C-alpha cells in the first residue's frame, strides 16, 4: 500500500484499508468533482455499498467535501485543514452546465474569520455557468 496515503488517512483518524487507499489515490488524480457513479465506473469490480460507505466516511472525517449538483452528490478532496468537526473548504465551486463538471476555484475564498457569534461548520459557495473548455468548443 502507499505509505503516504496511509499516513494521510491515519492523520484523519481513518483506518487505511486497501479500498480506502485505492479510492483516495483515485481522488488525487481527479481535477473535477466525482460522483458515486464515476467512482463505480472506475472500480467496476467493487461493491457499490463499499464505495458509498468509503466516500461517506471520508466526508465525515474531513477527507472529502461533498457538493450537491442537481440531486447528485459529488466529491472532491479537502484541504489538510479540514477535520471531522469542521470542513474549511471555503472556496468557490464552479459548475459547467454543458460538461456537468464541478471544479474548485481556490483563489476565490470567503474570509475564514467572519464577524459572527454563529459557529460555521460548512460553507457552500457555488456558481453555475460554462467552463473555458466548453466555451472554446462552442465557438468552433
How many Cα atoms occupy the beta-carbon half-sphere of 104 within 13 Å?
Answer: 21
Got the DSSP string for 39-82? HHHHTTTS-HHHHHHHHHHHHHTTSEEEEEETTEEEEEEPPTT-
List the chain pLDDT tens, one digit each, 140 residues. Answer: 588 999 999 999 999 999 999 999 999 999 889 999 999 999 989 999 999 999 999 999 999 988 887 788 999 998 887 888 877 777 788 888 888 888 877 777 677 666 677 777 666 777 888 988 898 888 87
Specify the pLDDT at position 60: 93
Specify the pLDDT at position 56: 96
Specify the pLDDT at position 77: 92
Specify the pLDDT at position 109: 67
Give the chain's domains with CATH numbers. Answer: 3-139 (1.10.10.10)
Specify the pLDDT at position 79: 81
How many Cα atoms occupy the beta-carbon half-sphere of 4 within 13 Å?
Answer: 3
Amino acid at each position: 500500500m502507499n505509505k503516504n496515503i496511509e499516513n494521510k488517512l491515519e492523520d484523519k483518524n481513518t483506518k487505511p484499508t486497501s479500498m480506502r487507499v485505492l479510492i483516495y489515490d483515485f481522488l488525487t488524480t481527479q481535477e473535477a468533482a466525482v460522483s458515486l457513479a464515476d467512482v463505480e465506473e472506475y472500480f467496476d469490480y467493487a461493491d457499490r455499498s463499499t464505495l458509498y460507505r468509503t466516500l461517506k466516511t471520508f466526508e465525515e472525517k474531513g477527507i472529502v467535501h461533498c457538493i450537491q449538483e442537481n440531486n447528485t452528490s459529488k466529491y472532491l478532496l479537502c484541504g489538510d485543514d479540514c477535520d471531522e468537526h469542521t470542513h474549511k473548504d471555503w472556496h468557490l465551486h464552479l459548475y459547467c452546465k454543458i460538461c456537468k463538471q464541478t471544479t474548485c476555484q481556490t483563489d476565490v475564498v470567503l474570509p475564514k474569520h467572519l464577524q459572527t457569534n454563529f459557529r460555521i461548520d460548512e460553507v457552500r459557495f457555488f456558481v453555475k455557468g460554462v467552463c473555458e473548455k466548453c466555451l472554446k468548443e462552442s465557438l468552433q
